[in-house]
Amino acid sequence: MEIACRPTVISCYREALPNIEQWWAQWKDFMFAKEVQIVTKTGLTASRRVCELLDPIKQSKYPAITEAEQACSISLQIIYLAAFDASLVFMMNLVAPRDWHRIKISLMDVLHQNKSVRVIDILTGPVYASCDVIFLQEVSAAMVRDFENDPNIKEKYHILSPEILDGKRDQNSIILAASCRFSKESSKKCSQTWGGEISAQIIGLIDDVKSAPIAAGDLFVVCCQEKVSKTSKLSNIKPAHQHGQRFIFASFHGDTDGLATIPVVTAVKKYMTLLTSDESAVAAGIGPAPCPPLLVFGMDANTYKVHNEGKRQGVIDFAKHLAIMNIATCWGAGESVANEFRRTNTFKFIAPNVTLALLVVDPNLYTTYNARTFLQPQLNKAVRFSDYDTSKLTDKNPKDHILFESTTSHLRNVSGGKEVRAKYVFRDNTGDGNFIADMPFPTSSFPSDHAIVCVDLELVPHHFSDLVSS
Following DSSP, what letter does each residue of 159-224 receive, concatenated? EE--SS--SSS--EEEEEEETTTEESB--TT-SS--BEE-HHHHHHT-S-GGGS---TTSEEEEEE
For residue 180, what pLDDT band results from cuts at 50, 70 and 90? very high
d(Cα 366, Cα 101) in Å, to the nearest integer? 32
pLDDT of residue 208: 79
Q: Could you read off the pLDDT of 357-400 as tens digits, one per residue?
A: 445 667 899 999 999 999 999 999 999 999 999 999 999 999 99
Of 128-137, 272-281, 333-342, least confident by mean pLDDT is 333-342
For residue 459, what pLDDT band results from cuts at 50, 70 and 90? confident
295 pLDDT exceeds 90? Answer: yes
343 pLDDT exceeds 70? Answer: no
| SS3 category, 374 | coil
pLDDT of residue 241: 47
Average pLDDT (445-452) is 96
Average pLDDT (23-36) is 96
Contact (CB, 8 A) for 429 and 441: yes
Average pLDDT (81-97) is 97
Contact (CB, 8 A) for 367 and 451: yes
Domain 114-469 listed as CATH 3.30.420.130: no
Contact (CB, 8 A) for 231 and 181: no
CA distances from 103 to 9, 96, 322 (A): 11, 10, 44
For residue 284, what pLDDT band results from cuts at 50, 70 and 90? low
242 pLDDT exceeds 80? Answer: no
d(Cα 126, Cα 284) in Å, to the nearest integer? 48
Burial class from Cβ neighbours inside 10 Å (0-12, 13-18, 19+) for residue 249 reads buried
Record the pTM: 0.83
Mean pLDDT of the chain: 84
pLDDT of residue 256: 93
In the β-sheet with 133-139, what is the strand arrangement from edge to edge? Answer: 133-139, 172-178, 157-160
Q: Could you read off the pLDDT of 143-157 as tens digits, one per residue?
A: 999 999 999 999 999
pLDDT of residue 315: 93
d(Cα 415, Cα 355) in Å, to the nearest integer? 19
**Residues paired with residue 420 on neighbouring β-strands, in sequence order:** 459
Average pLDDT (87-109) is 96
φ, ψ of residue 174 to 5 degrees: the values are: -135, 170
DSSP labels for 253-318? E--TT-TTHHHHHHHHHHHHHHHHHHHHHHHTTTSPPPPPPEEEEEEE---BSS-BTTTB-BHHHH
pLDDT of residue 334: 45
d(Cα 203, Cα 425) in Å, to the nearest integer? 29
CATH 3.60.10.10 location in the chain = 114-469
Query: Quick one: which of 259, 314, 324, 296 has its CA closest to 403?
Result: 296
More confident residue, 268 or 464: 268
Q: What percent of the chain has pLDDT over 70?
A: 80
Q: Which residues contact 438 (CB under 8 A, 6 or more apart)?
A: 369, 389
Average pLDDT (24-28) is 97
End-to-end distance of the chain based on CA atoms, in angstroms?
Answer: 34
- The 3-state DSSP composition of the chain as helix, strand, coil percent (nearest 5) reads 35, 20, 45
104 pLDDT exceeds 90? Answer: yes
Of 295-304, 330-339, 399-408, 421-430, least confident by mean pLDDT is 330-339
Average pLDDT (440-444) is 94
pLDDT of residue 211: 74
d(Cα 144, Cα 157) in Å, to the nearest integer? 12
Of 182-196, 197-211, 253-267, least confident by mean pLDDT is 182-196
**Dihedral over alpha carbons 73, 78, 81, 86 (to 10 degrees):** -150
**Residues paired with residue 177 on neighbouring β-strands, in sequence order:** 133, 158
